[in-house]
Amino acid sequence: MADAHTKHHDYHIIDPSPWPALGSLGALITALGGIAWMRSMNGDVFRLFGVNLAGANFWLFLIGMLVVLYVMYAWWSDTIKEAHEGHHTKVVSIHLRYGMIMFIASEVMFFVAWFWAFFDASLFANEAAQVARVEFTGGQWPPKGIEVIDPLHLPLYNTIILLLSGTTVTWAHHALLENDRKGLIWGLALTIALGVLFTSVQAYEYAHAPFAFKDSIYGATFFMATGFHGFHVLVGTIFLIVCLLRALAGDFTPKQHFGFEAAAWYWHFVDVVWLFLFFCVYVWASWGAPIHGAGH
């Protein structure tokens, strides 16, 4: 009888979990709250089944976000627990890696959309103005009257920061493979510090940008592309902070450390996207344009 319940395969059949359903509910509440919130900013009314959600817009959005964040914490905690219990066999680990690769591939396509929008507006400036039914490009890129950010100032500084962070996270990975706990912790701590520094520099750059999001299609495409990358840096920094806390708690071994490996992959992905942003959005697109502050 006991032999009938013995597992004769390398796969992990997970127990019934409430997190997929609860996560979906949280995402729905977040979406409804977000839509109602944005509609209320324009003085519009958002009704669902006859109920006006305009009064509860922010709180509905906040409740949904808290539910989603809790599900993320609980679901990943269960995954870590399963790893400690030995359920992450070689076959399961391979599938986890496939899942992370597919996630990063989806993120690549997400940024392809923003690059596509940017290049469509910059290479076909007249058509972009006609589609938007305004004449704010002047048939050139950047549009007339736009002063661009000096690519050799803060953007170059941030490029150096991210390249250094890629080096430190690689150092942490190699230290882990060599079972060097001190090197792992120091490498992660330095990477997190560089990530926070990058975000701080970008926030300063945004606060002093010579153009706004709504001023022109240049500002819209610039802030959407670089802003979403900044959000990914923030997510990656949180990812690495969790890895650091786990490393301090004694998690990760040279043979089993997919959580850290996934964070390192994600961070390298963020690095590569920034290099494309730097050379395309900051350097190429500002070539020959008036530099903000250059005359001072």
- Asked whether residue 40 falls in the same domain as residue 178, the answer is no
Nearest Cα neighbor of 73 from 239, 293, 296, 270 is 239
In this structure, what are the phi and psi dihedrals at residue 51, rounded to the nearest 5 degrees?
-95, 130
Q: What 3-state class would DSSP assign to 236?
A: helix
Residue 289 lies in a domain: yes
Residues spanned by the domain of 171: 88-296
- Among 71, 87, 103, where does a domain finish? 87
Instruction: Give the CATH number, domain containing residue 211.
Output: 1.20.120.80
Residue 252 lies in a domain: yes
What pTM was computed for the model? Answer: 0.86
- Asked whether residue 30 falls in the same domain as residue 105, the answer is no
- Asked whether residue 169 falls in the same domain as residue 296, the answer is yes
Residue 218 lies in a domain: yes
- Report d(CA 85, CA 216) in Å as an integer: 55
Q: Which strand (E) or helix (H) includes residue 47?
A: strand 47-48
Instruction: Give the CATH number, domain containing residue 16.
Output: 1.10.287.70
- Report d(CA 259, CA 243) in Å as an integer: 7
Residue 1 lies in a domain: no
Residue 3 lies in a domain: no
- Asked whether residue 79 falls in the same domain as residue 104, the answer is no
How many domains, the chain? 2
Cβ count near 184 (within 10 Å): 25
- Asked whether residue 145 falls in the same domain as residue 247, the answer is yes
pLDDT in tens, the chain (296 residues): 445 555 666 776 778 899 999 999 999 999 988 888 887 777 666 666 666 666 667 888 899 999 999 999 999 898 888 887 877 788 888 888 999 999 999 999 999 999 998 998 888 766 655 555 444 555 678 887 788 899 989 999 999 999 999 999 999 999 999 999 999 999 999 999 999 999 999 999 999 989 888 878 888 899 999 999 999 999 999 999 999 999 999 888 888 888 999 999 999 999 999 999 999 999 998 887 778 766 55
